[in-house]
């Protein structure tokens, strides 16, 4: 009986439910700064600035931490290319003992109009290479994703140029507001849960 109790106690301690890992996806080199594909970086940068957090270079990327509503919020900006995002995500989930359901991944989404965002508690990769890599490496689709709409206003064969292109002047006019709103959505997820946040923002 004692060994049985010890087993269940250790099972409960396997993950720390008081922690979240927030991963903003993007490509690391300067040439990709300010592109649509790097909106994940932009949102976590804003979130950190709003919490007075300075990211520091660490294993597999830039990391930071702050407390919010009694929980430890860990930030990760991977230093791998988008299609290898699963490696740093898996490493930090394991190192911090964070359950995948407490993982929030921020990505760009061609299937949503610019200015629209959607929160999902799980799902397929939707053709996004970063999500595909994460799903493969952590072996589950059951993690939170915040999808930022970048639209699909490009001609046939020009998808890559569009995704890796800079924001238009029209988009830039509302980008700061949208980034701030998406940062607030992340904090709302942590404080109130996914379902409540979906009802409020989706």
Element (DSSP H or E) covering residue 61: strand 61-68
pLDDT at 93 over 70: yes
pLDDT of residue 13: 44
Catalytic residue numbers read: 37
**6 lies in a domain?**
no
> What whole-number distance in Å separates Cα of residue 52 and Cα of residue 196?
26
DSSP secondary structure string for all residues of 69-123: TTEEEEEEEESS-GGGTHHHHHHHHHHHT--GGGEEEEEEETTS-TT-EEEESS-
**Which residue from 134, 150, 145 is spatially nearest to 186, judged by alpha carbons?**
145
Written as six digits, the tokens of 91 are: 């490493």
Q: Which tens digits make up the pLDDT trace of 158-181?
A: 999 999 999 999 999 999 999 999
Q: The CATH number of the domain where 175 resides is what?
A: 3.40.50.1470
**110 lies in a domain?**
yes
- Provide the domain limits for residue 162: 17-201
Mean pLDDT value across the chain: 93
> What whole-number distance in Å separates Cα of residue 24 and Cα of residue 168?
21
Mean predicted confidence (pLDDT) in 65-80: 97
Kindly report the CA angle at 159 between 84 and 119, in degrees rounded to 5? 60
**134 lies in a domain?**
yes
**92 lies in a domain?**
yes
pLDDT of residue 15: 73
pLDDT of residue 11: 47
**1 lies in a domain?**
no
> The pTM is what?
0.91
pLDDT of residue 17: 81
**3 lies in a domain?**
no
**How many domains is the chain partitioned into structurally?**
1
**119 lies in a domain?**
yes
> What whole-number distance in Å separates Cα of residue 194 and Cα of residue 146?
10
pLDDT of residue 3: 52
């Amino acid at each position: 009986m004692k060994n049985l109790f010890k087993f269940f106690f250790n099972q409960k301690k396997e993950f720390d439910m008081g922690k979240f890992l927030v991963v903003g996806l993007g490509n690391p080199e300067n040439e990709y700064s300010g592109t649509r594909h790097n909106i994940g970086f932009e949102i976590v940068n804003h979130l950190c600035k709003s919490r007075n957090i300075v990211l520091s270079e660490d294993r597999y990327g830039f990391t930071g931490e702050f407390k919010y509503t009694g929980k430890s919020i860990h930030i990760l900006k991977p230093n791998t290319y988008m299609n290898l995002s699963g490696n740093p995500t898996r490493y930090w989930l394991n190192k911090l003992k964070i359950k995948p359901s407490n993982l929030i991944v921020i990505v760009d989404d061609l299937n949503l109009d610019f200015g629209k965002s959607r929160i999902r508690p799980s799902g397929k990769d939707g053709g996004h290479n970063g999500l595909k890599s994460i799903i493969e490496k952590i072996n589950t689709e059951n993690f939170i994703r915040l999808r930022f709409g970048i639209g699909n206003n490009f001609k046939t064969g020009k998808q890559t140029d569009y995704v890796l292109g800079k924001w238009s002047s029209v988009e830039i006019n509302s980008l700061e507001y949208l980034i701030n709103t998406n940062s607030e959505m992340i904090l709302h997820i942590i404080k109130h849960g996914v379902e409540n946040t979906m009802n409020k923002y989706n």
